[in-house]
Amino acid sequence: MAAPFQSSLANDPGSSNMVPPMAYRFMYGVTEYPPAGNGTLLKTLQDNHINYIGTAAEGGLSNKMLVAGHMLDGMPFNYWYSVAWCAINLELDLANEVINGSNTTVNPLYYDQQGIGRLQRRALKTLRSGISYGLILGQVIDTQLTQESFNAEYEKGSYAGNAVINAVPFADYTSLNQSDYADGKYNGLSAVVTPRRGFESITFNLNVTNFVGA
């Protein structure tokens, strides 16, 4: 278990240090599970999302590797890593924007439409970073819809394969949540993201013929 933990902890997301898929990552200081006579067992492990150490011999490599980098719920490690990264960094960056906005006389952050737009832009910047780090699929989209309209567009698949930040406009939000302005509360930001993942299985179709066409 130490080798996969070390590999996961070595992730340091950055635009020049992207996070690779955990599936088939090289592992060091480990011994592979012997494939001879264990085909059924290894398939059972994979079917139940239990990782094991294999070899990269299928790719002509002598390295040991992790098969197949899943969590027990069947999702790739990168899926939940990306989800956690988004949750942590969106909260961090938005809190940073609010705190800094209360400590400047040049550009204070106020609870109005301009302030909501500023928070949305900060969240969009966070998701752009996630895309450049290899964590999030697609392009960044910003929307300004009521929550009901945003949910309807999401259900229609309008944002499939992209990273979206919706900010309910000030007028709409305060009319629907009349006590929130007095409390300084804004719950109108929503995000939709699709974590990036790697290939795990490829089928290559090869047709062979003796027929020579004209």
Q: How far is CA 81 from the centre of its chain?
A: 7
Q: Determine phi and psi for 26, rounding to 5 degrees.
A: -65, 140
Q: Which of 36, 54, 56 is nearest to 45 (CA)?
A: 54
Looking at residue 210, its pLDDT comes to 86
* Residue 212, pLDDT above cutoff 90: no
Looking at residue 88, its pLDDT comes to 98
Q: By the 8 A CB rule, do 147 and 190 touch?
A: yes
pTM over 0.75: yes
Looking at residue 214, its pLDDT comes to 60
Average pLDDT, the chain: 95
Q: Which of 44, 173, 20, 184 is nearest to 101 (CA)?
A: 184
Task: Give CA–CA dist 23/4, Å, rounded.
Answer: 11
Looking at residue 141, its pLDDT comes to 97
Measured from the Cβ of residue 206, the count of other Cβ atoms closer than 10 Å reads 4
pLDDT in tens, 15-71: 899 999 999 999 999 999 998 899 999 999 999 999 999 999 999 999 999 999 999
Give me the residue spans of the domains in the chain: 2-67, 77-192
* Residue 160, pLDDT above cutoff 80: yes
Task: Give CA–CA dist 94/84, Å, rounded.
Answer: 16
Region 141-152: mean pLDDT is 96
pLDDT in tens, 91-113: 999 999 999 999 999 999 999 99
